[in-house]
Amino acid sequence: MKQLIKKLTETYGPSGNEHNIRKKIKEEIQDYVDELRVDNLGNLIAVKKGNGKKIMVAAHMDEVGLIVTSIDEKGFLRFSKVGGVSEFYLLGQRVIFENGIIATLGTEKLESMKELKMDKMFIDIGAKDKKEAEQMISIGDQACYYREFSDLNKRIIAKALDDRIGCCVLIQTIKDIGQSSNNEIYFVFTVQEEVGLRGAKTSAFSINPDIGIAVDVTATGDTPKAKTMAVELGKGPAIKIKDNSILCHPKVRNHLIQTAEKNNIPYQLEVLEFGGTDSGAISVTKEGIPSGVISIPCRYIHTPSEMIDYDDVLNATKLLTEALISFE
Ligand code: CO
Ligand code: ZN
């Protein structure tokens, strides 16, 4: 599974620009599902047919990024963010555009780091002037972090683990579950989560499932002087109670907890005081869809070096697989 994590995290795919990552996921799953389609917004929907409950499982394909807003006379690019990117993680980073152009980030002269704001920063693609820059890049082009996957044995560092790790869990679950579930399962690889859960919204509307489950990353409270949070790396997948987008439905939440207990899968309970995920959008679709979330604990979310524990990934896959089989 680590090879798959490397492959998916190193792929380019900021919100609204998911076709490269979608292609790779499609290749991985096409031989294992009964139906595969791409909807109007670009969500990849993979169906495993059955006569039982209709369950939608979502993981988002997109990652945070930058978008070019203007090009100056000297060929420097101004930009704004796509999703929750912080200035403090950008300085000195390299980013890559879809056409493969690699660039670095610089800033105007600052009196103090407190002045570090995105409008003081620029992307440097190494162009000698505006004319040359315009041959390389256009207004509206998007960049994402340019970083390699690192395997620390138990732990993994990579960009875009949010939420390519969720995509990996879904892919592995599709392979593991085989013919062992009677439920009709819609595995949805969503677009545009980072800019407002948009892909989950439209795909949930068209599928209209009985149950929704998202797989995404969540924050942890296990680093020095971190914001207090009862989630740690390596203690198992987190079963979400709430975040700012959802209060998880007791039916789904309890089913996940019972599945973990029954199968001796370690788990943690998650109360996230900020952020949201695809299940938030799914849960308020049509007349309301009972929804829950399996979260992979992740440090340094939305930075080029997010960190997860590999055992949490394996246990999340096990939990999702068993939960899908046993949902009645
Ligand atoms: Co995110
Ligand atoms: Zn996410």
Quote the domain boundaries for residue 69: 65-145
pLDDT digits 0-9 by tens, 197-217: 999 999 999 999 999 999 999
185 belongs to a structural domain: yes
Percent of all residues in the chain with a pLDDT value above 70, rounded to a whole number: 100
Closest CA to 1 of 315, 295, 307: 315
Q: How far is the CA of 220 from the centre of ligand 2 (A)?
A: 14
Q: Does one domain contain both 308 and 266? A: yes
Q: Does one domain contain both 91 and 232? A: no
Active site residues: 193
Q: Does one domain contain both 87 and 58? A: no
Q: Does one domain contain both 189 and 282? A: yes
240 belongs to a structural domain: yes
Q: How far is the CA of 203 from the centre of ligand 1 (A)?
A: 19
**Average pLDDT over every residue of 111-138:** 96
Q: Does one domain contain both 134 and 254? A: no
Q: Does one domain contain both 284 and 304? A: yes
CB-hemisphere CA count at 13 Å for 177? 31
Q: How far is the CA of 277 from the centre of ligand 1 (A)?
A: 8
Structure tokens at 309: 């524990």
151 belongs to a structural domain: no
Question: pLDDT band at 179, cuts 50/70/90?
Answer: confident
Q: Does one domain contain both 272 and 286? A: yes
Q: Does one domain contain both 171 and 320? A: yes
Could you tell me the CATH number of the domain that includes residue 224? 3.40.630.10
15: helix, coil or strand? coil
Which of 82, 116, 145 lies at the terminal end of a domain, its last residue?
145
Neighbours of ion ligand 1 (CB under 5 A): 162
Question: pLDDT band at 4, cuts 50/70/90?
Answer: very high
Q: Does one domain contain both 315 and 186? A: yes
150 belongs to a structural domain: no
Q: Does one domain contain both 113 and 211? A: no
* pLDDT at site 281: 97
* pLDDT at site 176: 96
Q: Does one domain contain both 165 and 296? A: yes
* pLDDT at site 285: 97
Give the per-residue SS3 of 222-288.
CCCCCCCCCCCCCCCCEEEEEECCEECCHHHHHHHHHHHHHCCCCCEEEECCCCCCHHHHHHCCCCC
- Supply the mean pLDDT for the chain: 97
154 belongs to a structural domain: no
pLDDT digits 0-9 by tens, 50-105: 999 999 999 999 999 999 999 999 999 999 999 999 999 999 999 999 999 999 99
**Average pLDDT over every residue of 173-200:** 96
Which of 116, 145, 174 lies at the terminal end of a domain, its last residue?
145
pLDDT digits 0-9 by tens, 218-257: 999 999 999 999 999 999 999 999 999 999 999 999 999 9
Which of 145, 173, 205 lies at the terminal end of a domain, its last residue?
145
Could you tell me the CATH number of the domain that includes residue 95? 2.40.30.40
Q: How far is the CA of 262 from the centre of ligand 1 (A)?
A: 31
184 belongs to a structural domain: yes
Percent of all residues in the chain with a pLDDT value above 90, rounded to a whole number: 98
244 belongs to a structural domain: yes
Which of 19-28, 110-119, 157-166 is predicted least confidently? 110-119
Report the number of distinct structural domains present in the chain.
Answer: 2
Q: How far is the CA of 73 from the centre of ligand 1 (A)?
A: 34
Query: Can you name the residues that pair with 82 across neighbouring β-strands?
Result: 65
pLDDT digits 0-9 by tens, 98-111: 999 999 999 999 99
153 belongs to a structural domain: no
pLDDT at 282 over 90: yes
Helix (H) or strand (E) holding 35: strand 35-38
Ligand nearest to the CA of 277: 2
Q: Does one domain contain both 252 and 288? A: yes
pLDDT digits 0-9 by tens, 255-267: 999 999 999 999 9
